[in-house]
Chains A and B, each alone.
Chain A
């Protein structure tokens, strides 16, 4: 079945350092979405990428969609303690875009 894999599973950084999480799919994706979940909270939608090679920025966050539309990355510049949480990527499941298959997530810890 379709799989969406994320690496690393966990990363801890010093405040001010950069952070990157990577997402890889076993199949070509029509789009990819990214979510953030704070500890004890629920996932919150960050962004959707649709085009091959697309790059989008949200303040210190940069999202990329690979040319082959099988991988994606999220890069955070100069992390802050407010960035703590788990970041998930998600792609459409087989049989239609109506359902998303989530990666296992990357948990980010930021030490002040």
Chain B
């Protein structure tokens, strides 16, 4: 009963490096999401995928790309990391018309 699994849990990058954050859910949910959380700013939507094969931009998509690999997996890629991307990243999934299930988060620091 894993729910939403995110890897890695912690990461330190140098400016300009790239990385992919992985997310997988085992609840057969259609919709998946990537949010970032910064102190005092709540959760801001980066990208989402309403169903397998579709992705859409959220509030803060610049500097990120996503891939919905299959129904279970939704990855977030930083092509050239910047210090402004230092944040906690949460992946979430949801069944239609109900609440999100969040992963435990990835704490990313860009130096």
Interface, chain A (partner B; CB < 8 A): 1, 9, 33, 35, 41-48, 88, 90, 93, 96-105
Contacts and interface: CB of A to CB of B under 8 A. Distances in A.
B99 A9 contact: no
A99 B102 contact: no
Closest 7 CB pairs of A and B: A45-B99, A104-B42, A102-B43, A42-B102, A102-B42, A98-B50, A43-B102
Nearest to A45: B99
A45 B41 CA distance: 19
A105 B31 contact: no
Given A45-B100, A99-B48, A104 B41 contact: yes
Given A42-B102, A44-B102, A100-B45, 10 more contacts: A33-B99, A35-B100, A43-B102, A45-B100, A46-B99, A96-B50, A100-B33, A102-B44, A104-B40, A105-B42
A103 B48 CA distance: 18
Interface string B37-67: 0001111110010100000101100000000
B100 A9 contact: no
Given A42-B104, A42-B105, A104-B40, A97 B97 contact: yes
B90 interface: yes
Interface in B45-95: 45, 48, 50, 56, 58-59, 90
A48 B48 contact: no
B40 A98 contact: no
